[in-house]
Each structure stands twice: as C-alpha cells, then as structure tokens.
Amino acid sequence: METISSGIWFYIVKKLAMVFPVWLGISAAAFLLGVVSPSDPAVLLLSMDGISTPGAQEIAAKRHELGLDRSYILQYLTWLGQVLQGNLGISYITRQPVLDELLLRLPVTVMLAGSSLLLVMLTGIPLGVLMAWKKNTGGDFLLRAAALAGTSLPSFWLSVVLIWIFAENLQLLPSSGYGTIPHIILPAITLAAGATGALMRLQRATLLEVLEQNYIFAAKAKGLPPSRIIWRHGLPNALIPVVTLLGNYFGSVLGGSAVIEAIYSLPGLGSYVLEAIRGRDYPVIQGYVLFTGCIFVAFNLLVDLAYLRLNPRIRLGGK
C-alpha cells in the first residue's frame, strides 16, 4: 500500500518536473507571438480612439515607454523575470496588472467551462450508453444523427438560434450578461453541443468494444441484469478515452470560449483576450497564453491521475 502511495507521489513529481520545460516553451511561444504578429502596439495605442494620428516622435516615445525599443532577447528575459516573480506585466490598454485582470475574469470562464462540462457529462455519457445498448435500432440512428448535428453545427449559429428561441421569442432566458445561473444556461448549452455529440459517439464506440469482451459474456452467462452489466462492468472500462476527451475539453474550453463569451457578453478570459488581440496588447496576450497553457497542463496531469483511479492496470511510471 505504502509502495503504491509513494509510487503515486513519484509519478506526480515526475509529471510536474516535465511541466516546467513545457511552461518555458509556452512562455517563449507566447512571447514570440508578440514579436511575429503584425503592427506596432505603440501606434495602435496612440490611435486607439480612432481620431488621433500620432507623429513619429510620439510613436518613438511610446515605444520607449513600453520598452519595445529594446532587443527581443532583453524584452523576453525581462518579461520572464517578472513572470517568475508572479508578475505578468501591465496591460498596455487598461494599464492594470495582467494577472489581476486574468484572475478577475477566470471565475466567469471557469463557471462557463464547468457548466458545459457538467452538461456534456450528464447528457453525453448516458446517451452514448443508450446508443450502444440500442445499437442499430431506430433510437440509435436518431441519437447518432443528433450527435452528428451537435458536432457539425457551428457554435455561433447555434447561439443565434438559441437566443432567438429562448430570449427573443419565449423570453425564458437572458440573451446575454453574467451574474445569475440563467445567464450561463444558453452559453453552456452552446458550448456543450459539439462536445456532447463527440462524447456520445465516443462513448458508444468504446462501450460497444467493451461489450464484446469475454468478461461481459461471462456476466451475461451468470444472468446479471443488462443495466448492471453496463453500469458496473461495461461503463467503467469504457471511460478512459471519455475521460481523456473531457479533460482536453475542459482545458480547451478554458482557453477557447472566446466566441461564445463575446456573443453572450460574458466578461471571461476569452472575450478579454479577443480585445487584447485586436489592440495588440502583448502583455495580456502573453499572460493569457501562459496562464491557459498552465491550466491545460494541470488538467492533463489530473487526467493522467484519473487514469490510475479508473484503471489500476495502468502501471505507475511504466512499472
């Protein structure tokens, strides 16, 4: 028992040690983004009101103020030094510390990602199981069509339709904003639709594969009821790819819900970085990439640990 526990810790420490070079890579990539992307932040800042047309001297002064006139290496090292001290820099546009701004918006995105993940799990897994159980019946075909539609429909289209039905016509749910549970329902459904479809199909396929295993036949031969066979013996063994998908999904939602956040006016990380990209607010973009990259890495680690719980056959550290 003690060996297993120390094995887990060794596994976690090993994974964390691998995370640091990944983070360094992410930070370099985040910084490079600012270097290779077109346009000069100083010009954009000075003309962000859409009225001012800065002269060369003003631009040079602003570049100096922002530290953009230094070499790229120096800029990167300065930024990295700040990051290591927990300082992601100051936003060019709002002049607020980037970390504060990210932390302010994180709960919104976590709420959205969590809600949609819950929705995906509550609908995707049971419906996938049903599809597998009712393989090649009318219900299965119907659900497969629904899953295909869920994965194929663009989220912006779905959001427009949902807003039209539930906000404009039925007036049951708010079209936009943040603050109460109803505000999250439509964005969560929109965000969950694609992943639910994918999860249903994946769950069906993996469960069907598991249901062909000998131990399932043995369970059937013992006379166990079908529901028990699925929930106790089939499903747990068909969950590993599903957990992988859910883990990646949560990470990607944290980093990629920008369009949904913009449409539903949710003040989350995605809409924040969209504005930063438009304004070439490099400290924000770099901070965001680093921040979400870290979250993604952390989630992958959690998924790896979940594997251990779900399938004890997976050996720690390849033992």
Partner 1 sequence: MRKSKEGYRGTKHLWLKAVCLLLLCGLGAFFAGCSSRQEQTPGTDREIVLAAARDLTPGSKDPYYTSLILKVWEPLVEVGEDGRPAPKLAKEWEHSGDYKTWTFKLAEGVTFHDGTPFNAMAVVKNFERYRIISPRTSTFYLFDINKIYPQLRRVEALDEYTVRLTFGHPFPNLPYSMTNFSSPMFSPACFDPVTGDFGGTVAGTGPFKLTSHAARQYTLLERNEAYYGSKAMAKTIRIRNIPVSETRYSALKAGEIMGVLDIGSLTPALTSELIKDKQFDVAANRSTITHYLFCNGEQGPLSDSRLRQAISLLVNREVLVRNFFHGYAIATNNFLNGTSPYSRPVNPERNVAAAKHLAKDVLQSQTSEIIFLVPQYGIDRYPYKEIAEFIQAELKELGLNARITVMDWAAIQDARAAGRFDLILGTQGLPSLEPALLFRNYMKSTGSANVQYRLGYKNQEADRLLAELDSASEATEREKIYDRLQVIAREDPPCIPLFDDMNLAVYNKKLENYQPLLYGVTLDKVRWRQ
- Interface residues with partner 1 (CB under 8 A)? 37-40, 43-56, 58, 93-96, 104-105, 119, 122-123, 126-127, 129-130, 133-134, 160, 163-164, 166-168, 171-182, 185, 223, 225-228, 230, 262-265, 267, 271-272, 277-280
61 alpha carbon, distance to own chain's centre? 39
Q: How far apart are CA 229 and CA 139, in angstroms?
A: 21
Least separation, in Å, of the C-beta of 307 and partner 1?
Answer: 26
- Angle of CA points 217, 219, 221, to nearest 5°: 70
Least separation, in Å, of the C-beta of 287 and partner 1?
Answer: 16
Complex with partner 1: residue 136 or 180, whichever CB lies closer:
180
Least separation, in Å, of the C-beta of 318 and partner 1?
Answer: 38
Complex with partner 1: residue 251 or 283, whichever CB lies closer:
283
DSSP 148-214: HHHHHS-HHHHHHHHIIIIIIIS--S-SS--SSHHHHHHHHHHHHHHHHHHHHHHHHHHHHHHTTSH
**Residues 6+ away with beta carbon under 8 Å from 82:** 88, 89
Least separation, in Å, of the C-beta of 70 and partner 1?
Answer: 20
Candidates 238, 253, 251; CA nearest to 300 is 251
Two structure tokens written together for 270: 């995605």
Complex with partner 1: residue 105 or 201, whichever CB lies closer:
105
Specify burial of residue 154 (Cβ count, 10 A radius: 0-12, 13-18, 19+): exposed
Q: How far apart are CA 182 and CA 191, in angstroms?
A: 15
Q: How far apart are CA 235 and CA 226, in angstroms?
A: 12
Complex with partner 1: residue 5 or 171, whichever CB lies closer:
171
Least separation, in Å, of the C-beta of 155 and partner 1?
Answer: 13
Least separation, in Å, of the C-beta of 297 and partner 1?
Answer: 27
Complex with partner 1: residue 76 or 92, whichever CB lies closer:
92
Least separation, in Å, of the C-beta of 161 and partner 1?
Answer: 11
Complex with partner 1: residue 192 or 297, whichever CB lies closer:
192
Complex with partner 1: residue 173 or 240, whichever CB lies closer:
173
Residue with structure tokens 């003690």?
Answer: 2
